[in-house]
Amino acid sequence: MNRFSENKNSKERNDLDKKTLRKTLLKRRESLSWLEVQGKSHEITQRVLFLPEYKKAETILIYLAYNKELDTSAIMQTAWQQKKKIVVPVCQPRDRSLLLSELLDFNELAPGTWGILEPKAEFLRPVPVQNIDLLIIPCVAFDREGYRLGYGGGYFDRFLPAIRSDCTKVGLAYDFQLLDELPREPHDTAVDIIITESRTYYVKKESP
């Protein structure tokens, strides 16, 4: 077997592993009651607001929760009160990219791609990726090295390498979504901090 075949087979195994793991974890997430989602989201919100990296950030890119993802609305509300700029991702299915748009109020939102809330067309205010100080992203799972299992669309995978090197990347997850290890690809980008309802986990980076 040549190296190309080995790499191809390895990728196929990874894709299969990711698909199985994604299905299992999403099923577990959907089994949570809305009361549990609310309680765990509250705990995580407090942890985010306590972060020094949050406190010093002026422009925050944050996801809008869908289904039973951890709710970020309280983080956004507090950030607005503190005069921080809130930016949200808008999926662009044509090229599977993300448009970044400043959000001033929840009333500017409407269901968009796949039913995920996004700014209505008249409220789109594009923001350059280089303006982002803090990035808060969702997951299906994270591992202890900060690598992420997403939903399979690759939107954040393609976006993450474009952010500033000093932009702090924070992943929000339920406790059961933090795993020891995940299948990964060479191009995957790790987050810096993972926050669950019970802990704030700083990913240890290897020294250059």
Binding site members: 18-22, 64, 69
| β-bridge mates for residue 201, sequence order | 194
How far apart are the C-alpha atoms of 50 and 78, rounded to whole Å?
Answer: 12
Candidates 26, 2, 82; CA nearest to 49 is 82
Residues 149/188, Cβ–Cβ less than 8 Å: no
Annotated binding site for substrate: 64, 69
Going by the DSSP 8-state scheme, the letter that residue 126 receives in this structure is B
DSSP H helical ranges for the chain: 3-30, 34-50, 52-56, 73-81, 155-159
- 2 burial class (0-12, 13-18, 19+ CB within 10 angstroms)? exposed
Strand, coil or helix: 112 = coil
Annotated binding site for ATP: 18-22
Q: Residue 110: CB partners within 8 Å, gap ≥ 6? A: 117, 118, 119, 120
- Within 10 angstroms of residue 74's Cβ, the number of other Cβ atoms is 15
